[in-house]
Structure 1
Amino acid sequence: MSARPEPLPETAERSIVLTEDLHARPASTLAQVAAAFASSVTISYGSRAADVRSVLSVMSLGATGGGSVTLRATGSDAPEALAALGAVLGA
């Protein structure tokens, strides 16, 4: 009897134009919202990426208002995580 392969986790991606800089307050809010989900979420700005759950990593991206970031979530609740994080970023 052969073992069934594990299903691949769901991956979702969303690009957002920032309405404000990703300074301490919005980075903290992103981390708090991301913590409510099982999915792993990264945010990319330019050539840099960070785990959304790390406030300092998000702030170190240097993302500024008017710039575009990409959120990528992998896990069972990826679409829901992206929707919630997009709402925090004003999209």
Structure 2
Amino acid sequence: MKKNVEPVPNALAYLQKLELKKFEYNKDKYSKLKLPAGKQYGFITEDFQKVLPELVRTKSQSIIIGKNTYRSATFKNTDLKGLIPILVAAIKEQ
């Protein structure tokens, strides 16, 4: 099922470029998105994309903004599951 399989050297170098952030979602401005409350830990997608662009996906979604009124919004999302093999490789390198 897979093709163009090749090893990924220096997995640790990718991780060293990622910067963990602590943040809160702007629930007031984006109340229709039902974002989680409180402190969150993660990555800023635009920063993550500079290091691992293959793990960033763009998604369009319709959001209700009023009675029978929808608006289309586009989001970038990080594929954190795809980060797992890089984490394993980095651990093995150490």
Higher RCO (CA < 8 A, seq sep 6+): 1
Look at both structures and tell me which one has the larger radius of gyration over its CA atoms.
2
Larger helix share, 1 or 2: 2
